[in-house]
Structure 1
């Protein structure tokens, strides 16, 4: 069986083949038809292609990807669609000019832009000889919707149009008109930004004929390109979002591992299961949550890994930022060479993780009874530096010089406990699904729900990335009949995901509408924007219009 990364991008020319793979809980055909008609209305001709990239929901495995442990996302039926066609040769425009419009025009203003070829001021050095030549303005401090379109364009320009000459001997990018629409809620933790970059990348590949040449890009190559493209907007992604959007298959989640290399494999979801995504309607303050939230958690997990490695006798380089996954691997005697695609066998890794869940108790600080901080599980910066075994200057260089964090106590024990128990939950979730396949019974569904509930408790109590609204929403979800419910995405706001039996979805959504205060009074499209059911669906694809 061909690995997901090596498979070609699905390319459709028949509508019935396309819609058969997109799921049934969303009116896909109407959206695609409406987009095509609106494109023709605005640009005076039919689109040549429509590129699609879905959002994703992480079923389990939160905040462990940057510790290099595997995660289990699934593509959702909500997606980004981009209709496009080459612009007329008779029009006056620069090579590669893009006229980008959005169906939500009141919120997203139409944009026209063209890539510029950067001529070096001096002869490039040997290191600079392969530096990119194309330039597009992207303001990473004030992200606009077209920034994600430009980000998708960059990879195509610099991969396929590496030189630009005035004598006509070098090909230039095709000028394009494009119309965008999306059903993935922005800022909800369902990766609308990754879907936008993937869809944009596919659009420029399609319009320039790169999906129909003799050696078209495969899914793995598209993931890598989309990851690099998203860095243009200041997002340093580990690859989960892009891999889920590109590599997913119908009725399956995607197990994505990051060590020793990025890899993905399908995990069948039991029949009769639906996943309901519910937006808490809390949007985290990214500037504040980064310093006290995401960035702080990254530092805590990295420092915790070094200190734990010291305590269990694992060797760490002086300036090395070892991860919790690497601690487990070295403790097990794992030998990873350049080019290796597989690390420890799952059974051996699980065995080591179960040991480390107990070993992390050593990260609890020793406190005197009766002291003010007797029950404080965190450590001060000074205590953390001492535990690391590094001097202050070297510690700052390795762990703090590249990131801005804010804390009085660093919760090394709590973060380590979450990472290792969450990694185990991912393996158990995956194994339960694989053991029964899509025909898994009620006991399997109950097991999956329990693992999701344990994950939410760990996110709330140990990783502290939940918030009162997410805690309330998951509680109400269980009371409304969800088998399991947890936050999904980074947390501190955004969405929950609940495992609900398919025949109970309608009643479940009605109960959440009636009990979650921000949903009171919502009906129809407004309700459907904040809470919706989905089955795992297929990944990114392109539809070509043929006469």
Structure 2
């Protein structure tokens, strides 16, 4: 099982580069990062942690309904060079002129640059000048002077780790801090005494760089959190014994620290992916990842049809956190409530305090037995059959007498009444933990998308597996995959309403430029599209998109390559150890 494998730790850069793909000159980037770390901190890094972004080929907004998805890691990634700090290394440290002191950031730390504090971090970012150097240290809810003395067990018994993360104004270092939390909570319990003899987190210098565009739908935030988690594990000597699945779980919990209720797809793709394959990731009854070879990605037959994926950035920034109450988090609530109401209309029992998902409703409808810890697993064939049939049952959620062009949503009051719960019970179960804002809740449209998209994922998987048994990828195979991608885009745009005019335009232009299929990828509302394109047509395809899509007209060279580029599936997260 891929999730049970250990995190790769390389000591040879040849091993690293051979696993990353071929479209990017990785050697130059890694070497430049190591040299810049030495320039800034006066010594070589001990480790470089890598976490790739991901492209979701199909299966959008269904992971938090517990249906499987089909992402692949991309070659673009986040790299963090890091090293433990010694007394000699911080003795010569000079704060940057624009760097706030610990005293300014916390308002209660006496020493403005306490570089000797347990776990103190100096973090710098090469990605953009707008990302200034940051310094911070984990605290146990007490003053620095208290921490540096000999606190009693009573002082720290009830304290928890504190790393200031302002969810209302996310700065780049918030994602680094989020990754740190998981390591602190797992290996440095806050109830343990911090003395000169007890273990404590190690002070660290880190330098971040990356090529995953922020807000693009390629999961730069998850890549940053995964890379940060890996960096702190490596510096503190905690990598051994950590499986890929455990890292995924840690990263999921860590990203929640910045206010994102993630379903786990982004983290799993970044960690578990393998070269030349996508992942069929399932979340129910437990997290599992199955590598699926992609057609044409490894075949050397001259008769085969080779294809690559081209990522195109709409240049509309999608911020899941800023707009969550009307977009991402609202969709989570809509899918959860639709699951309860559909279950009731299908005659399926749902507990008053049960936050049932659409995947669980489907399983009960198919007769899956309840077992200890949840529901028994349903095999792929039975699940596919159920998804093909339940589409008709979703019509039970359509407001009576309403056509497709009419308002298909329901008001909050109507939704509460349909749920069979009192207003107090409903608010406690569905609204007490998340902020949402809507005049109408689209239960019918959201559930229709989720079930049809879940079926498309299985159909996409079937085509890939069928192709893997042959040494030749046929034109018809690529056309089948492309048709599924196009159907997904239509559903995302019309039913889940997570597209935007620019994404609709880009996908239309991609099809006109010769793509087999094109769809948005990621949360949507901006960000990127992914298109399946014949490898021989890549240059002409990009040229056509540049001419047709207005925001690209003035872009040339590297600037153009930053927003539209071909990629092949890459390997997942890893750590390089300097010797």
Q: TM-score, normalised by structure 1?
A: 0.92
- CA spacing shift, 1:207–1:287, aligned 2, 3 Å: closer
| Residue of structure 2 in register with 1:415 after alignment | 446
Q: Distance in 1 between the 2:531 and 2:290 partners? A: 23
The corresponding residue for 1:528 is 561
Matches of 1:56 and 1:465, distance apart in 2: 18
Is 2:326 the counterpart of 1:295?
no
- Mapped to 1, the partners of 2:140 and 2:328 lie a distance apart of 37
**In the alignment, what sits opposite 2:113?**
none
Shift of 1:287: 7.0
Q: Would you say 1:146 and 2:173 are equivalent positions?
A: yes
| Offset, 1:322 | 1.7
What does residue range 371-520 of structure 1 map to in structure 2 within 5 Å?
A: 375-437=406-468, 439=471, 440-520=473-553
Secondary structure of the residue aligned to 2:426 is helix
Deviation, 1:132, is: 6.5
Aligned to 1:68: 66
| 2:33 equivalent in structure 1 | 35
Report if aligned partners of 1:385, 1:395 keep a CA contact under 8 Å in 2.
yes
CA distance in structure 2 between the aligned counterparts of 1:73 and 1:256, rounded to whole angstroms: 8
Distance 1:67 1:327 in 2: 10
Pairwise CA RMSD: 2.4
Give the corresponding residue for 1:21: 19
Say whether residues 1:206 and 2:234 are aligned partners.
yes
CA contact (8 A) 2:217 2:318 kept: no
- What displacement does 1:413 show? 1.7
Q: Is the 8 A contact 1:49 1:85 kept in 2?
A: yes
Contact 2:83 2:204 in 1 (8 A): yes
- Deviation per CA, 1:70-104, whole angstroms, max 9, x where unpaired? 11111110000011122223345222221111113
CA distance 1:337–1:471, shift in 2 (3 Å): same
Partner of 1:106: 129
Distance 2:374 2:354 in 1: 20
CA contact (8 A) 1:465 1:492 kept: yes
279-288 or 509-518: bigger deviation: 279-288
Q: How does 1:321-336 map to 2 (within 5 A)?
A: 321-336=355-370
CA distance in 1, matches of 2:357, 2:397: 15
Unpaired runs of 5+ residues, structure 1, are: none
Please say if 1:157 is aligned against 2:159. no
**Secondary structure in 1 aligned to 2:278?**
strand
For structure 2, which runs of at least 5 residues remain unmatched after alignment? 92-115, 297-305
CA distance in 2, matches of 1:105, 1:285: 18
Residue pairs, 1:167-316, within 5 angstroms: 167-211=195-239, 215-271=240-296, 272-284=306-318, 289-316=323-350
Q: Assess, with a 3 A threshold, how the Cα gap between structure 1 residues 340 and 381 changes in structure 2: closer, same or farther.
A: closer
- The alpha carbon displacement at 1:33 in A equals 0.9
Q: 3-state SS of the aligned residue for 2:325?
A: helix
Moved more, 88-97 or 326-335: 88-97
Q: Closer, same or farther in 2 for the Cα pair 1:391/1:52, shift >3 Å?
A: same
Aligned to 1:56: 54
Which secondary structure does the structure 2 equivalent of 1:99 belong to? Answer: strand
**Deviation of the 1:405 alpha carbon:** 3.0
> Structure 2 CA distance, aligned partners of 1:299 and 1:393?
16
Instruction: Report Cα offsets for 1:426-471 as digits up to 9, x if no partner.
Output: 0100111112228443222111111000000011111111111110
* Pairwise CA distance, 1:43: 1.5
Following the alignment from structure 1 to structure 2, what is the Cα–Cα distance between the partners of residues 300 and 484?
A: 28
Q: Is the 8 A contact 2:46 2:578 kept in 1?
A: yes
- How far residue 326 of structure 1 moved from its aligned partner, in angstroms, is 1.0
How many residues are treated as equivalent by the alignment?
Answer: 535
Out of 405-414 and 315-324, give the one that drifted further: 405-414
Aligned equivalent of 1:10: 8
